[in-house]
């Protein structure tokens, strides 16, 4: 029981690491919470600090989900499903204790869970994300569509993995909820489009 609690606490703390804040303040002397969408995630980092910083922050956020998912293996805890600490890390990313509980929108860290648990699915959604991004130019819409496609994929090819189905569904709900303002802007045609793809 102690090991389970320890893993979940560690998962939350890992998820709470504010990658965008760290990179922005350390290397750019910039608090990205004061710029753009004021969000700590990779998208706002791209817009505020540029491609290099955006790639670094997005990679760090992905690895948070992956590391959390691998914690049960590291601790030899076979009695805890690896997807559970992954989800806890996503909650930490959205509501980080190290950044006044105002974090990112769950996309990259959610992808990190899949990288740790199902690399094939991660590869597929990565392709879907960039294809959708190329067609729509909306990061937010691409994130939501990609998350939905992950549910379809699991239903079609991994239906026996009920834990994975539950998690990708929960992640889809998280991502849509965190993008509710973006949904309104898309409907009003005021959502910013990317220009680099």
pLDDT given for residue 196 in this prediction: 75
Distance of alpha carbon 106 from alpha carbon 180, whole angstroms: 13
Q: Does any domain span residue 192?
A: no
Residue 195 belongs to a domain: no
- Does residue 159 fall inside a structural domain? yes
Q: Is residue 196 part of a domain?
A: no
Tokens 């959502």 correspond to 191
Q: Mention every residue, 6+ apart, whose C-beta is less than 8 A from residue 25.
A: 31
Q: Is residue 126 part of a domain?
A: yes
- Chain segment 70-115, per-residue pLDDT in tens: 999 999 988 999 999 999 999 999 999 999 999 999 999 999 999 9
Residue 37, phi then psi, degrees to nearest 5: -80, -5
Total residues belonging to the chain: 197
pTM for the full predicted model:
0.94
Condensed to tens digits (0 to 9), the pLDDT of residues 151-186 reads 999 999 998 999 999 999 999 999 999 999 999 999
Query: Domain for residue 193, yes or no?
Result: no
pLDDT digits over 25-61, tens only?
Answer: 999 999 999 988 888 888 899 989 999 999 999 999 9
Q: Domain of 16?
A: 2-187
Percent of the chain at pLDDT above 90? 85
How many domains are there within the chain? Answer: 1
Q: Which residues contact 100 (CB under 8 A, 6 or more apart)?
A: none
Q: Using CA atoms, how far apart are residues 76 and 164, in angstroms rounded to an integer?
A: 20
Say if 11 falls within a structural domain.
yes
């Amino acid at each position: 029981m102690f090991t389970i609690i320890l893993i979940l606490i560690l998962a939350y703390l890992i998820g709470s690491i504010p990658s965008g804040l760290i990179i922005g303040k350390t290397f750019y002397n910039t608090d990205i919470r004061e710029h753009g969408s004021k969000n700590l995630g990779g998208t706002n980092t791209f817009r505020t600090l540029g491609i290099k910083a955006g790639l670094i922050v997005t990679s760090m956020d992905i690895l948070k989900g992956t590391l959390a998912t691998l914690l049960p293996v590291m601790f030899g805890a076979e009695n805890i499903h690896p997807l559970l600490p992954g989800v806890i890390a996503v909650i930490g990313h959205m509501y980080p204790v190290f950044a006044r509980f105002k974090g990112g929108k769950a996309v990259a860290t959610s992808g990190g869970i899949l990288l740790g648990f199902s690399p094939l699915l991660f590869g597929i959604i990565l392709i879907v994300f960039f294809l959708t991004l190329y067609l729509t130019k909306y990061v937010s819409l691409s994130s939501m569509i990609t998350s939905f496609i992950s549910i379809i994929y699991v239903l079609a090819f991994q239906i026996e993995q009920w834990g994975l189905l539950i998690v990708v569904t929960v992640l889809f709900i998280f991502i849509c909820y965190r993008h509710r303002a973006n949904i309104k802007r898309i409907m009003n045609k005021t959502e910013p489009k990317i220009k680099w793809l």
